[in-house]
Amino acid sequence: MKLKILSTAVVFFTAQAVTAQKDSTKTKDIDEVVIVAYGKQKKGTITGSNIQVDAAKIENRPISNVLQALDGAGAGIQIAAGTGQPGEGSSIRIRGTGSYLVSNEPLLIVDGVPFPGNLNALNPNDIESVNVLKDASSTALYGSSAANGVIMVTTKRGKKNSSRFTLNSNTGIVSRFVQEYDRVGTADYYVLAWEAMRNGRRLTNPTESLAASNLWATNNLISGNLRTNVYDVPDTQLVVDGMLNPSAKLRYNDFDWAAPIIGVGLRQDHSISFSGGSDKSTLFSSLGYTNEKGYITKSSFERLNLRINADSQVKDWFKIGTSLNGVITSQGLAVNGADNNSAYINPYAWTRGMGPIYSPYRHNPVTGERMYDVNGDVLYDDGSLRGVDAAAGRNIIWETLLNDDKTNSYNLQSNVYAEFKLLPELMFRTNAAYNFRGTLNKTYGNRLIGDALGIGSASRTMYLTRDFTWNQVLTYNKKLGGHDVTVLAGHENFDYKQDYLYGYKRNQVLDNFYEFGNFVDNNTLNSYLRERTKESWFTRLNYNYNEKYLLEGSVRWDGSSRFATDVRWQSFWSAGAGWVISKENFLQDSKFINFLKLRGSYGEVGNDALDTNYAYQTLFSLGYNNGTEPGILLTNVGDPLITWETKAQSDVALEFELFNKRVRGTLEYYNSETKGLLFPFQTPVNAGIPGNSIDRNVGNLVNKGYEITLSADIIKNQNVKWTVSAYGTSYKNEITTLSQNEFISGTKKLMVGKDLYAFWLRSWYGVDPSDGAPLFVLDQDAFPSTTATDVRTVNGVLVTTNQNKAKYEYHGSAIPDFFGNFSTTFNFKNWELSASFNYQMGGKIYDSNYAGLMDAFPQGGAIHTDMYNRWTTPGQITDVPALNSSTVVASNSASSRWLVDASYLMLRNASIGYSFSSDIVKSVGVSSLKLFVSGENLWVTSKRKGLEPYSTFNGTVTNRYSPSRIITFGLSTTF
C-alpha cells in the first residue's frame, strides 16, 4: 500500500503532516441531520415541514441559478419556469399565493443570514444543500419575513483530515425549448386578408353585389391594407375572387424573421475546488467560470466567482470561521426599449407576430434581389411599406444588432462567525455578514432606426447595495436519561442601504462611441437612497423524550423601519408536536413499518416585503412644473397604521418508511390564513389621491391543501438500484374578507368567496352557423331588450354580436387541480440514468398570444393555422368566426374564448453518466472520474403548440424570452 504525505498551510490552518489512509473512516448508521433556522437538527425529531435538496442533485446540472434546482424538488413547491435569458432564475411559490400587493417570494437565507441579492451570484457547485421550510414550525424563527416560506442555502465546508481537489467541467448547446405557434404561409395570407376585407365590405354595404365587393377587396388589398406585394403580378391582380393569381410567382421569399437572431448558443461551465483540513482547521475554496450565450442574439451571461470557506478550532472552547465569495457577472439582454413586452422592440413578439409577406431586408422593387451597401453589407428594410399591425418604421433584427443592453455586477459576500463553548451544555455563537452588490446597466439606442431614430441615445443605471446582518445566539442543550432539552435564544439586526443613480442622454455626435460625453442633450438625471432596518429577538425550545415524543415552540419579536413607530413591533410564534409511533413497543418488532411519525404544528409568521420602505408616509415627487419652474407633486398618501401581513398556519403530517425502508413517504395537510392582507383601499376621485387608492391592511385570504410524497426502491441489490419518486399537491385559495364588494384587475375580479386567480371575462358563446358572426352570452339584466339588431336567439339561448352587451361571468381559475413531479434514477454497476418530469392537471390559462394570431382582419400581423377552420359557408359548424373587417373588434375582444386548459407534462431534466472504477482511474493519478450528459427542458406536451402554461401563476402569458433547452457534455473528477 502506498502512503502519501499531505502538507497544507493556509488561513486558519496549523501546518502539519497528515497520513492519508484508504477507508480510514467506518460508516455508521446515524439519523440524518438537516439544516433548520439558526442551527441543525436530527430529521427524525423535527416537527415542521422541511425539504432538503442535497449537492448530488445540484452538481453538474446546466443551471446558472440555484433556484432552478428546486423545480420538482418536493411537494408544495410551485415554479413559474424562468425565461430563456441566461442567468435568470425562476419565480417560486411555496404552498400557494398568500399576498396581493406585496411579494410572494420566499425568504432567502445563505449560510445562516438573509440574502437580498440575486442567487445567480452563487456557483451551484459550491452548494452543499438547499432546504425549503414550508410551515410555521419551521419558519417562525424568521418572523416577519417568513410568511412565504424560507429557502436556506448552505455552502460547502472543508472536511477534517482529508485533502481533495474536484474538477467539474461541462460544455453544451443552448436552443429554443418551446416551438412557435403554427402560422399560415405567404400565399394563404393574402387570400385570408382579402376575404376579411370582402366580408367586411358586404356587411357595411349590404346592397352592393358580390362581384362589386370582390373587386373592391382586390383593388384595395395592397394599397389600402397590406402595402406590400411580393409576387410578380400587379397589385390589383394578386387575389381575384378569393383565389391567388395562379401565374403569380414570388420575387423573393426571405420572410423568416427568426432565423437571423434566433439560433443555437453555447454554454460552458468550469470549476475547480479544494476541500480539506487537519484535526483543527478546514478549508473549502473554489474557482468557477460560467459563460452562456443564449439562443437569441446578444443574450448572454458570464460569471467568474472565487469562494473561500475556512474554519478553525482554535481552542477546545473556541472556534472561528469565515466565508468569502467574490463574484463578477455580465449579462447581455436582447431586448432594448421602454417596454420589454412591446411588440415593437421585443424579438419574441416580433418573430411570432410578423406577417409572412414582409422581409427583414431591402429588395430591388423590380428584380426582387436583396440589396447591399457599398461595403457589401445587407440593407435592412425600414418598414415604411407595411400594414398597421406590422410595426411600420421598425426592424427588430436591425435594432437588435445595433442597440446594446448590458448589465455588469460586482458582488462580495462575506461572513465571519465565532463560537464559544461557555459550559459543556452552553454554546454562544455570533455571526456577522456584510454583502456588497454594485450593478451598472448600460444601454445604447441607435440613431438609424427605432426609438432614438435620427439622434441616438444612451442610459446608465447604477445600484450600490449594502446589507449588514449581525446575530448572536445562545444554545443550551441538556440530556438527562431519555429527556433531551434544547433552548435557543438570540438577537439579530439587519441594515440595508441602496444608492440609485440614473442618467439618460440623447443626440449622438460620433458613431461607435457610447459614453455620455458623446451625447449632447441631458434628458434625465435622477438619484435616491433607500434604507431600511430590522431588529429582532427570538427564542426556541425543543424537547424530546427518547426521540419518540417531540415538542417544539418558538417566538420572535420583530421591529421594522418600514412601519410607523406605533405599529413597528410585532411578535410571531409557533408550536409543534410529534409522535414517533414506530418507537412504541407495539411496533418495535414490525417488519412492515420501519418508521412512522405523526406531527403537527400551528403558528403565525409575517410578510413585510413591500415594494417601498415608506408606505406609511405621504410622499412627494420633486421636479418641474410645465418644464420651467421647480415644483412638488403628491405621489403617495401613506397610512400610518399599515403593518405586516400575518399568516396563521396549521399543518398535520404523517411520515412513514416501510418494507425495510424501501418505501418512503409523507401525507400532509395544511391550512394558512393571511390576516391583514394589504390591498388598495379605493378612495373617491375627488379626494385627489394618486391612483384613487391607499394601501391598507383590509383583507383576509386562505390557502389550504394536501401534499403527497412517495419514494420507493423498486430494485436494490449489489449491481442494480432503481428508485422512483413522486410528489403531488392540490390546494385551494379563497378571499374571505375584502374592503369592497369587488375589485376588477385585467382578466380577474376579486371578491369574497373567490380566489385571487379566478377569471372574470365576457362569456363567449361561439359562432352563428348562419353567417359566421361571433356570439357572446347576452347580459339580460343590463340589456333586457331582445329586439335589438345585435341580439339573437341561437339554440334557445339569448346571445349578442356586440361585445359590449356580453355577460361577464367567472370562468374557472388559473390554480391547477393537481401539480407535482415524478422522477426516476436507475443505477446499473457504473452507469446512472435519471429523469425528472413536471406535470400539472387542470387550471386555465388566458392565451393572449394565440388571440393575437386569430385576428379576424389580417393587417400585417401573422395568422394562426386554426384560421383554416373559420366559418365560410351558411350552416357550417365551427368555433372560429368568419374573417370580417367589420366584426374584428368583437371577434378579437377579451372573452372566455381565449381560455385553454393549462395541463401539461414536461421532461424537466435528465442525465446519463458513467463512473470509472477506482482501479482504472487511480492508474492515472485521480481518485474518481465520471463522464455525463445532462439536459434541461427536454420535452413538453400541452394543449397547444407554442403555449407555455407553466410560465406564470396567474394564468396569463406574455411575449417573453421562451425557456432554453440546454444539453451539456461534461466530466467530474477528484484527485
pLDDT in tens, 545-566: 999 999 999 999 999 999 999 9
Beta bridge partners of 735: 701
Provide the grid cell at 720. Answer: 442494480
d(CA 62, CA 266): 11
- Residue 616 half-sphere exposure toward CB, CA atoms < 13 A: 16
Provide the grid cell at 123. Answer: 456557483
Radius of gyration of the chain, Cα coordinates, nearest whole angstrom: 32
Provide the grid cell at 12. Answer: 486558519
d(CA 916, CA 85): 35
Task: Please give the span between the terminal C-alpha atoms of the chain, in angstroms, as a whole number.
Answer: 17
d(CA 308, CA 284): 6
Provide the grid cell at 425. Answer: 451544555
Choose among 42, 46, 69: nearest CA to 57: 69
The fold adopted by the segment(s) 4-161 is: Ferric Hydroxamate Uptake Protein; Chain A, domain 1 (2.170.130)
pTM, full prediction: 0.91
Task: Name the residue with cell 393555422.
Answer: 865
Query: Any idea what the Cα angle at residue 491 is, between residues 486 and 495, rounded to 5°?
Result: 145
Helix/strand/coil for 97? coil
Choose among 330, 290, 288, 323: nearest CA to 306: 288
CA-to-CA dists, residue 799 to 763, 786, 802, 806, 851, angstroms: 10, 9, 9, 8, 21
CB 258, CB 295: distance < 8 Å: no
Provide the grid cell at 455. Answer: 439622434
Give the amino acid at 498: Q
Choose among 316, 244, 51, 282: nearest CA to 163: 282
Beta bridge partners of 806: 778
CA-to-CA dists, residue 440 to 305, 330, 335, 407, 849, angstroms: 18, 10, 17, 6, 33
Choose among 604, 672, 694, 607: nearest CA to 643: 607
Choose among 894, 952, 643, 901: nearest CA to 744: 894
CA-to-CA dists, residue 131 to 153, 273, 494, 594, 597, angstroms: 7, 23, 22, 25, 20
Task: Name the residue with cell 451570484.
Answer: 121
Distance of CA 309 to the CA centre of its chain: 30
pLDDT, position 31? 66
Choose among 128, 339, 369, 168: nearest CA to 269: 168
Helix/strand/coil for 61? coil
Beta bridge partners of 483: 480, 545
- Residue 868 half-sphere exposure toward CB, CA atoms < 13 A: 8
pLDDT, position 18? 37
CB 636, CB 691: distance < 8 Å: no
- The residues of the chain that CATH labels 2.170.130.10 are 4-161
d(CA 555, CA 296): 50
Beta bridge partners of 570: 558
Task: Name the residue with cell 451551484.
Answer: 124
CA-to-CA dists, residue 201 to 13, 197, 215, 301, angstroms: 87, 6, 10, 52
> 509 burial class (0-12, 13-18, 19+ CB within 10 angstroms)?
exposed
d(CA 540, CA 39): 11
Beta bridge partners of 607: 645
Residues (pLDDT < 70) of the chain are 1-31, 335-345, 624-628
pLDDT, position 683? 85
pLDDT, position 149? 95
Contacts of 52 (CB under 8 A, 6+ apart): 34, 35, 129, 130, 131, 132
Choose among 974, 966, 973, 970: nearest CA to 293: 966
